[in-house]
Chains A and B, each alone.
Chain A
Amino acid sequence: MTDTTGATPVRGPALDRIARRLAAVLPPGAVITDPVRLRTYECDGLTHHRAVPGVVVLPETAGQIAAVVRICNEYGVPFVARGAGTGLSGGALPRTDGVLVVTSRMRRVLEVDLPNRRAVVEPGVTNLAITEAVRPHGYYYAPDPSSQQVCTIGGNVAENSGGAHCLKYGFTVNHVLALEIVTPDGDIVTLDADDPGYDLLGAFVGSEGTLGITTKVTVRLLRAPEAVTTLLAAFGSIEQGGRAVSAIIGGGIVPAAIEMMDALAIEAAEAAVACAYPAGAGAVLIVELDGPAAETALQSAEVERVCLESGAFELRTAADPAERAAIWKGRRSAFAAVGRISPAYIVQDGVVPRTALPGVLASIDRLSAEHGIRVANVFHAGDGNLHPLVLFDDAEPGAAERAEAVSGRILDLCVEHGGSITGEHGVGVDKARYMPKMFTDDDLDTMQLVRCAFDSRGLSNPGKVFPTPRLCGEVPGVRRGAHPLVESGRAEQF
């Protein structure tokens, strides 16, 4: 595995000086410099990239974050934001020479405005806590990553996270109405969806912490649907399940969610949470329909018919929330559950057009057999977002490399089929090297222009998203002249 920088950082006197300056603008106990403590922040959910942060700070207000960022600017050291550290692309991988800004103490729901269906929360509030705050009133926050009980809204905004229900409801970007951010220069500004001019809010969502640090989020709340029907269909094979998915969507139904798991993923979930999915299933499909009761009843009958026609051998329908939770339990736990059947694994995240699903899955099977590496598949089948789980034994020499190779080849497959290298987990540090598979140098340079407009010194989460340090960027304080696009008059720098 690539140990990005396993070593304890050489704490130069500069970092100590910075730590003292940071302590002066933060509450007591909010600056961590003890090496043993610092190391617990060395990675996020993707544990094979590690780097011990130079300093960790735990601010409580936007003002404190702004002060921290200004101090970083003064000394020209990079800073990285971190929420709950559940990211799966190494986005919150710290810098040994920089400051890790953790929002875990900023977890207040500041305002719930039901008449206008919005809530204002601090960035460290968990995704699920928003729903819990408004559920008694019949509302909820729609995007629901499987990590929703722990991941923060700040992290969701940075990754533009989605969840099982984004087929019908969309990703984080569709549910954020305004953001308060601290810019990489240390200014506090508000980006509002209603602002005239460029959609800066849209640019910020999904920027993976490279355009600044979110300090306040205004989210849209939805009314809980009148009726929810959840079906579990068991098939002999993935192909049959895939056929059902196409038939459902082709038939004009937009379920809230369509999730599929293959036999290996089912085995893991069974081991972890005893979800009791039908025995012998080669694939299970979870279809959730929501909306007015009459509509979901009609649609659910249609979905049942289509599933049976595609070869389902068992159908279950959840009649109440407890049964629904039982159906979802296996799916929700699937990633972490893989720990039960394999010592180590890589969670991959790619997208293919829905119609290409069967072909891509067959190729993944072939890859798996060729390399002797098991691959469990869990996916948001409705929008073609695959989450292959590449299993290996880290104690076996060479296994990690083979797994890494399989994992990379899966992304190639996605790109070859006109898809993408990430659906919702972001690029981070892990997939930066795959960016050139999807984009030309010109594309990447143009993206860099956006980045430079926000972060001219390249201090905000450097080394992420882009494959190589270039332009205004990655070396603190160094600017390498105008961008070729600017020089050639094809773009303007602002």
Chain B
Amino acid sequence: MDPDIDPRIGPGIDPGLIGDCVHCGFCLPSCPTYVLWGEEMDSPRGRIHLMGQHVAGTPVTGEMAGHFDACLGCMACVTACPSGVRYDRLIEQTRAVVEREHVRPPADRAVRELVFRLFPYPRRLRAMRLPLRLGTGLRRRIAPALERVSPSLAALADLAPEPVRHRRLPRRVRAVGRRRATVGLLTGCVQGEFFPQVNAATARVLAMEGCEVVIPPAQGCCGALSLHSGRPGQAARFARRTIAAFERAGVDTVVVNAAGCGSTMKDYTGILDGGWADRAAAIRVADLAEYLVELGPVATRHPLPLTAAYHDACHLAHAQGIRSQPRELLAAVPGLELREIAESAICCGSAGTYNILQPEAARELGDRKAERVLATGADLLVSANPGCTMQITAAIRRAGATPIPVAHTAQVLDASLRALREIG
């Protein structure tokens, strides 16, 4: 058996969790795939029903697997559900069952293998970026060819952002002024490779707010991508390594600036057992915005005269319930006018590896999101998740609209604290 899929999360789908669903349908309008296709099987209620069918003895059919694969894991349904159905757990269990029991068509398998051998490993990702490091012109020329070979590969090339110079972060950043706290910083695989400037900004903001920031160099992927794709074995391995890295660094609070990583790390106790679960419980994980609001500001905010639209990343808004904190931080920047994006609770289609594994649906959702982002007329889009940033930028590029600059909350704060004229 593939050790990556090896079942840590129980042998199957928990019927008790399925039974919690009372079939009221309150989750339907918040589900991106239901919004797109209007089909019961591609709604949370329908997917839970399919899980129930499987538990009752129906084998995983290709159709069934297709509807689970189409789920973005955005957790909007968890927010919407009044009965407290743990859809997050259910879909993790289901994905593991699908990976174990369902044989996918060869082309599908190849793309999935590529993604799982690549993404969670920063060094491999860096190598991969070389071929993707194409000028925009070249990218446009080869896109149709890639599209023919595999829409998934085309999506991958389409997403990779313009290259930025890679700078190594120091192991330790000293607090500016009186030290108020010591925190660890998760650099993340996609964030670290594609958006190193976000990590740099995060470290500076924390330092300027009086935190000593410890950045263990030995950290790798937190396990989020694997967990969300039915590979609990691989996820648990990554989780253990991450915990050990921060333990060695001697921090008990880890600040995370990527939404997907934060929600996975907060759930480590659920994916590990025994001693490892206890060690996970001893480390507090906080999203950057959540942490900064709790800490309270000390550094001076300098004006940034611009309008900004804030994008709710699903793994922040739905999985961690963090909606008000980033808005509060942004609104506190003098001169910055915050605009809301319509349908903010609906996923942009990025969802971890979704835009690579389900390119068509991801593209439709991306286009929908791009349209609503552009409608705000804002100068800047603020997004706290690397996947969303890549996805929305790509959709805006496709729409042929003037690209809107995108920044992480950390970069906006960094610019304001350092009185920069440009966000970088």
Contact = CB atoms under 8 A, between A and B. Distances in A.
Interface string A26-41: 0000001010110111
B82 A336 contact: yes
Contacts, number: 85
Nearest to A334: B82
A58 B26 contact: no
Chain B CB count within 10 A is highest, among A34, A39, A105, A335, for A39
A32 B39 CA distance: 10
B49 A40 contact: yes
Given A104-B39, A272-B84, A40 B25 contact: no
Contacts of A84: 25, 28
Interface stretch (A247-255, A284-292, A337-345, A451-459): A337-345
A45 B25 contact: yes
A232 interface: no
Contact of A43 (B23, B28, B41, B63): B23
Nearest to B20: A339
B29 A150 contact: yes
B61 interface: yes
Interface string B13-30: 000000111111110110
B7 interface: no
A483 B310 CA distance: 66
A85 interface: yes
B82 to A, nearest CB: 4
Given A336-B82, A336-B83, A337-B83, A36 B50 contact: yes
Contacts of A39: 49, 53
A337 B24 CA distance: 10
Contacts of B83: 272, 336-337, 339-340
Contacts of B12: none
Contacts of B39: 32, 58, 104
Chain A CB count within 10 A is highest, among B22, B49, B83, for B22
B108 interface: no
A2 interface: no
A84 B19 CA distance: 20
Interface string B70-109: 0000000000011110000000000000000000000000
Contacts of A102: 38, 40
Contacts of A44: 23
B50 A150 contact: no
A34 B24 contact: no
A150 B45 CA distance: 12
Contact of A85 (B19, B22, B25, B81): B25
Contacts of B37: 105
Interface residues of A, number: 38
Contact of A343 (B19, B29, B50, B64): B19
A271 B83 CA distance: 9
Contacts of B24: 45, 86, 147, 150, 335-336
B82 A85 contact: no
Contacts of B81: 336
A43 B24 CA distance: 11
Contact of B23 (A45, A58, A343): A45
Contacts of B403: none
Contacts of B25: 45, 84-86, 147, 150-151
B217 interface: no
B275 to A, nearest CB: 33
B58 interface: yes
B82 A272 contact: yes
Contact of B38 (A40, A124, A147): A124
A34 B67 CA distance: 13
Chain A CB count within 10 A is highest, among B19, B28, B64, for B28
A493 interface: no
Contacts of A36: 50, 53, 58, 61, 63-64
Contact of B22 (A58, A104, A273, A336): A336
Contacts of A126: 29
Contacts of B82: 272-273, 333, 335-337, 339
Nearest to B59: A36
Interface string A138-161: 000000000101110000000000
A175 interface: no
Chain A CB count within 10 A is highest, among B38, B53, B63, for B38
A243 interface: no
Contact of B46 (A40, A336, A337): A40
Interface in B30-64: 34, 37-41, 46, 49-50, 53, 58, 61, 63-64
Chain B CB count within 10 A is highest, among A43, A273, A336, A345, for A336
Chain B CB count within 10 A is highest, among A37, A40, A45, for A40
A336 B20 CA distance: 10
Contacts of A168: none
Contacts of B26: 147, 149-150, 336
Chain A CB count within 10 A is highest, among B29, B34, B64, for B29
Nearest to A100: B40
A107 interface: yes
B416 to A, nearest CB: 28
A339 B84 contact: yes
Given A126-B29, A150-B29, A337-B83, A40 B23 contact: no
A36 B52 CA distance: 11
A336 B53 CA distance: 22
B413 to A, nearest CB: 26
A61 interface: no
B392 to A, nearest CB: 23
A47 B37 CA distance: 24
Contacts of B21: 339
A284 B24 CA distance: 24
A151 B53 CA distance: 25
A85 B84 contact: no
Nearest to B46: A40
Contacts of A107: 38
B63 A37 contact: yes
Nearest to A151: B25
A224 to B, nearest CB: 20
Interface string A332-360: 01011111100101000000000000000
A149 B345 CA distance: 14
Contacts of B28: 84, 150
A43 B40 CA distance: 11
Contacts of B34: 104
A105 B40 contact: no
B50 A47 contact: no
A340 B22 CA distance: 10
A86 B38 CA distance: 15
Contacts of A149: 26, 29
Contacts of B53: 36, 39
A34 B40 contact: no
Nearest to B83: A339
A386 B336 CA distance: 50
A40 B20 contact: no
B50 A40 contact: yes
A151 B352 CA distance: 31
B412 to A, nearest CB: 26
A104 B58 contact: no
15 contacts: A34-B63, A36-B58, A41-B40, A45-B25, A102-B40, A104-B39, A107-B38, A151-B25, A336-B24, A336-B26, A336-B81, A337-B82, A337-B83, A339-B20, A340-B83
List 4 tightest A-B contacts by C-beta distance, closest first: A339-B83, A104-B38, A336-B82, A333-B82
Interface of B: 19-26, 28-29, 34, 37-41, 46, 49-50, 53, 58, 61, 63-64, 67, 81-84
Interface of A: 32, 34, 36-37, 39-41, 43-45, 47, 58, 84-86, 102, 104-105, 107, 124, 126, 128, 147, 149-151, 271-273, 333, 335-340, 343, 345
Given A84-B25, A336-B82, A345-B22, 13 more contacts: A34-B63, A44-B23, A84-B28, A86-B25, A104-B38, A128-B29, A147-B25, A147-B26, A150-B29, A336-B81, A336-B83, A337-B82, A339-B83
